[in-house]
Structure 1
């Protein structure tokens, strides 16, 4: 007669998977910032290895990894900008004093750009970034395309509705989105089905973009590794003063000007702001795309107490026009750098032109990776050789990280300042805001549905 199994025996086998699952849950989770830092360090090491040991396959792998990450970000840019701008304009119908809020936002954009370009000019005049580099005019290469005021003004209006999306002409997309948004407001109830469709598409795009954002550690590895492999440390040494100027200028604006504005104009804690906005700032540094960072920036701004109705307008608006790093600090320093390389003396009128271009023409950068269009616009306005752009392209990826982080910070600061001054900022929510982990699947839920929440 076989022994009777004990009550514990039947449950012995099923308990094994449960035990394994519990063990997996106890594994420490690596914070997203640590993943990005690891990608940065590993990218530098692999880039150095690929260059020093001449490992072609490794260099190609780093290049393709970085390119793929940027391509995935750009894939969503055109439809994301269109629906974000169009829907955000229609959301203003739910905000009292909408025109006043929009006007105040634009004024603060212009004011902070003026401060940023002034800092860039001051640093450039004090340090002479083009002196002692060993570079000559022959080292420059004229860009295939350049920006001019005529191109800028006439290029706002598209010739058809397809080309802006296929060629990623963001300024034209913004124009069409603004027209569509205003038209929807005028239609009223007749436009409700179209608005509901637009909100659903925007939510879908932002959710898909959130998945791309979670690949940022790999993108960092590829982008940094490819930059080191392509250019090495010698090139960075040639541009040491210019690179330091850009980073110092951006740091002064990020950690000097913006905190002062928050403390004096908004009367809120700057430390608390950076605690809540840091995920967007770090992603901007890695992705080098203000538009690609837009869902995270909007989430951060809303968590800092800015009403969703206003945030869903101000953040997309800022992501395509508010560029203190790319369109203010950088063009000022680039103009001084190029003028010194080519032996051109700049006068007071030239410096005033730099200020004008930076404050008025910042929309030319349109939130995309890099600031080549803005640089060519500035150089052409001053009459400087456009071959100077070629001198700057080699070092651009290293500079663009800090520039974009500055852009994103400004895009988050202004809505907080405006909301505080208009007395619509939820100060309790602001004081309670904490950082959020971009690697947490649940952390994107609010950002994936900002517009739907705003109009509900």
Structure 2
């Protein structure tokens, strides 16, 4: 019969073996990069040599990957928002944290929309463009009344069946606030919600493990379907969107991190890159939520109580790419294509809609709702949406990457200002993002001075 020391030695050897295997595993970020390059190659081959079966395969695999993400979205949003509202009970300064978070959401959105307007005015993306829309404008016009009345669901089941994320967020906020108000009576429900959230995150991790394959398929599908044929007539517009997004990501956010967060922007991007990369290929802020939240807590050192509110809330309401940069430049593009002159009051309206109405994008792929909301507010032809639908997937990649980057920047800045940012964790080398540390298994142990939480 083995002694206790021998048993402990065996366990230690087994644990060391597991760690060794993890070290030998290709990093997740590298897997995504490989998938990205492979997708570009396969898409180019399928398009240039008219390999129809390869193009169909890429489209099918990419569609299935996105459908798997969308399948989980309603449950993830509801359970994450409920947990985030309830976890605010653990913070003595919850009200100030919420106010600061919303304030920074508004400030960064305003900066992003100003950059978008400036780029649009400097480049005149719609000047000389003559296009006929082959895609129909959306049936829903996205007016302010439609947006406001659409927040409250007529039927709870319909909100989940139709994946109306904005309505799901509304329901989750109400339920979470009610649970927090009930106190001990709500504990059984909150424990059930925490278990459901952990289950959803585990399931989502299985889907995300397919991300390298999904990346190759989605990128390959875009290259095969569009190539440069649709980008050429709107080359200035396409470059404007990417330029605006990159300025916000690589100039504005680093300045804010350095000046207000007092942290290294290089370290931020070094640690957050897997989430940014995944957002780029998945085109889903909500789908990226668990990965981004783990990075915010385990890699960037933000307090888990606060992050469990800021990350889910940001994933469903903070959209600097989809709700600020894109609609600003797109509105100028559509106005120029249809010969409509915009005045100062119109640009102020664009800024107002972008800052206040960003929740309309609700964390899913695409920004059609936000664009139609902006165009209808300005009185511009909604047919202009149809002009942009063809290249929307390509534009949506950089928009979503910008969204997710901003959703990680704000918690760092706010946490630092409230002294709940662990600088040792932020400045340390990145922890591995494998199944156990990123999505599955138990949450990482609480840091010093931080209460242990249920998985969030």
Quick check: TM above 0.5? yes
Q: Distance in 2 between matches of 1:230 and 1:115?
A: 34
Shift of 1:434: 1.4
Structure 1 residue 226 corresponds to structure 2 residue 225: no
Query: In structure 2, what is the Cα distance between the partners aligned to 1:199 and 1:138?
Result: 47
Superimposed CA distance per residue, residues 19-65 of structure 1 (whole angstroms, 9 cap, x where no aligned partner): xx99x969953332232222222222222232333332222111111
Question: What CA deviation, in whole Å up to 9, does each residue of 1:197-219 have, x standing for no partner?
Answer: 00000001011111111111111
**TM-score, normalised on structure 2?**
0.90
Structure whose CA Rg is larger? 1
TM-score (norm 1): 0.90
Tell me, yes or no, if the aligned pair for 2:284 and 2:364 is still in contact at 8 Å: yes
Query: Paired residue for 2:436, among 435, 438, 442?
Result: 442
Give, in whole Å, the separation in 2 of the partners of 1:96 and 1:25. Answer: 42
Q: CA deviation at 1:358?
A: 0.3
What is the match of residue 367 of structure 1? 363
1:121-153 superposed Cα distances (whole Å, 9 cap, x missing partner): 0011101111244x3355563223331100110
Q: Could you tell me how far 1:276 is from its partner in structure 2? A: 1.8
Aligned residue among 56, 61, 68 for 2:57: 61
Distance 1:159 1:449 in 2: 37
The gaps in structure 2 that reach 5 residues or longer are 1-16
Aligned partner of 2:262 among 250, 267, 277: 267
What does 1:65-80 correspond to in 2, within 5 Å?
65-80=61-76
User: Matched residue of 1:238: which SS?
Assistant: coil
**3-state SS of the aligned residue for 1:234?**
coil
Cα pair 1:39 1:218 within 8 Å, conserved: yes
Shift, 1:340, TM fit: 1.1
**Of 392, 399, 416, which aligns to 2:395?**
399
1:357 aligned partner: 353
Q: In structure 2, which of residues 154, 157, 179 is the aligned counterpart of residue 162 of structure 1?
A: 157
- Residues 145, 449 of structure 1: alpha-carbon distance in 2 compared, 3 angstrom cutoff: farther
Q: In the alignment, is the contact (CA less than 8 A) between 1:137 and 1:342 conserved in 2?
A: no
Aligned counterpart, 1:297: 292
Find the aligned partners of 1:323 and 1:265 in 2 and give their Cα distance. 20
Q: How much does 1:448 deviate? A: 6.4
Q: Which residue of 2 aligns with 1:237?
A: 232
1:426 maps to: 422
User: After alignment, is 197-206 or 35-44 more displaced?
Assistant: 35-44
The 8 Å contact of residues 291 and 439 in structure 2, kept in 1 or not, is answered as no
Query: Given the alignment, which residue of 309, 328, 336 partners 1:332?
Result: 328
Residue in 2 that maps onto 1:8: none
Change (3 A) 1:232 1:88: same
> What secondary structure is seen at the aligned counterpart in 1 of 2:230?
helix
Instruction: Tell me the distance in 2 between the aligned counterparts of 1:34 and 1:188.
Output: 45
Alpha-carbon separation, structure 1, partners of 2:124 and 2:382: 19
User: Could you tell me which residue of structure 2 aligns to residue 192 of structure 1?
Assistant: 187
CA distance in 2, matches of 1:371, 1:318: 16
Counterparts of 1:299-314 in structure 2, within 5 Å, are: 299-303=294-298, 304-314=300-310
Gaps of 5+ in 1: 1-20
